[in-house]
Structure formats: structure tokens, C-alpha cells
Amino acid sequence: MSKRQLILRADDAGSNSSANEGVAKVIKAGMVKNVSLMAVGSKIEEAATLLKDDDSVCFGVHLVLNSEWDRVKWGPLTTLTPESGLVDEEGHFLPNPQFFLETKPEIAVIMAEYDAQYQRLLDLGFKISYADSHMFAENCIPGLQEAVDQWTAEKGLLNHADYYSVPPDVEKLINREIRTLDFLKSVPPGQYFYVIHPAVDSAEMRQTGNASISGQKIATDRDKEATLFSKKMVKLTLKSIGVETIRYDQAIKKPRIDVTSLLL
């Protein structure tokens, strides 16, 4: 492959109105062609109204088992109790996949929830082409990855695990040691993956956050991503340096790698 192709994905559509606005903004600019939808999000119906009819977008179900923020919570679409090992006493998902090492939820219960999340998006009118994972719960639940592999095959969905490929020295970008466009100029030819969480800075977005990261920082960082990937000059720059953004259904499968530390 002599060109540089980028699977550019926007995550967390449906989580709140600020995320929906940010996602809509980057889609309109034409660079982001993959959007992952949170069926359990409080604003997923709003996301459907804004986004579902856009044929330029490859939509995916963002499979959720965790709710990481302290003040903003979401829970399952199926009826679950704390005994399931998936929710707390208030019915919210647990904040971190590491809890599953102790609670040991059953695969069948999880897959029923995934079915419900997928069906919710179909009922809202989305055409779902792929499935991906919120916070990689499968890393803490033995057998879940294999179950998801079978499930995506049965549903005819592309599996996100087959499309991760990161360029050399990506840690410099993650650690903000280099600007995004400068980094993309430096990568060799190939197919790569990059995820963003576009949103607008708002009081709503600043309600997110936890002990590890403040809601203000989340709102600021995500607003910057929405701004960067909605600029016409950025789109022109990507074209000029030979970077083409592609959909999952235009991509080729890659050998599986562990990207958890790079994406969380």
C-alpha cells in the first residue's frame, strides 16, 4: 500500500447533547466517516434525529458495560440486579472493567445486553455496520471476546478488533508531544486507526469526569478535537499530505493487536 489511509472514528454519540453536537460538526466537515453510538446514552434519540440519515457515515454499536464518570451515569437496557455483576445498587454500570475480575458476570447475560443495545439502534433507524467496545470490558471477562467474535459474525457486523493498526511512535501523539497534523505527515504509507471523542465545551460536558480526570479537562479536550476535525484547512492539509480517511467497510482486516493502553 503506497498511500496513507486512516480509519477515523468518532466515539460516544448519544452520550449527551454536547457529544451529539460535536459529532455532527465533524461529520459535516467530511473527514470523520465512522461514528460509534451509545445505545444506553441519555441522548441517543437525539443522535438518531441528527445523524441516522447521513449515508456518508459508517455507524457502529459502541458496546457498553461500564459507566466511568462520577456524576454522569448510564445503565443497561435489560433488567439487571447487582447480583449480575454488571451494575451497582442504583442500577448503573460499574465504573471500570477491572471490577469484573471480582464480580465475574456471565457471558450469556452480557450478550443479551449487547443484543438489546444493538436492537435499540436498529429501532431508531440506524444502519449498523460494525461493533466496537467501550473501555474494552472483554479484557477483564474471560471468553467475552470469543463470544463477541461469534456474535458479530452472526449479525453480519464488522468487528473492530480486526482493524486496529497504529503508526510508529503513536505514543508521542497520545502524550501530546507532537501536533496531530505534524504526526500524520510523518507516518509511513499504510492503513491506520485513530479515535476521537468530539464534543462542544458546555456545562453539560463539564459534568463528566472522575478522580482521574476533571470534567473541565474532558470538555476542553473534546471541544478541541471537534474544532480540529471540522476545519476546512485540516481537510485540505490531509489531502495535500496524502492522507485519506476511510470507512470501516472500505478497510482491510489487520492482525489483531492489543491497543487498550493506547485508546483508553
Q: Are 100 and 139 in contact (CB under 8 A)?
A: no
pLDDT band of residue 173 (cuts 50, 70, 90) is confident
* Average pLDDT score, the chain: 95
**To 5 degrees, how large is the angle CA 55–CA 57–CA 63?**
125
Strand stretches in 77-189, DSSP E: 128-133, 158-159
Q: What is the tens place of the pLDDT at every residue in 43-93? A: 999 999 999 999 999 999 999 999 999 999 999 999 999 999 999 999 999
Residue 226 predicted with pLDDT over 90: yes
Residue 261 corresponds to which amino acid? S
Determine the Cα–Cα distance for residues 110 and 147; give it in Å rounded to an integer.
10
Contact 215, 209 (CB under 8 A): yes
CA 177 to chain centre: 23
The pLDDT of residue 260 is 75
Can you say whether the dihedral through the CA atoms of 51, 52, 53, 56 is positive or negative?
Answer: positive
pLDDT for 175-211, tens place per residue? 777 888 888 888 899 999 999 999 999 999 999 999 9
CA distance 209 to 72: 8
Compute how many other C-beta atoms are within 10 angstroms of the C-beta atom of residue 44. Answer: 21
CATH fold for the domain made of 4-263: TIM Barrel (3.20.20)
Q: Predicted confidence band at 225 (pLDDT cuts at 50, 70, 90)?
A: very high
Contact of 34 with 58, CB cutoff 8 Å: yes
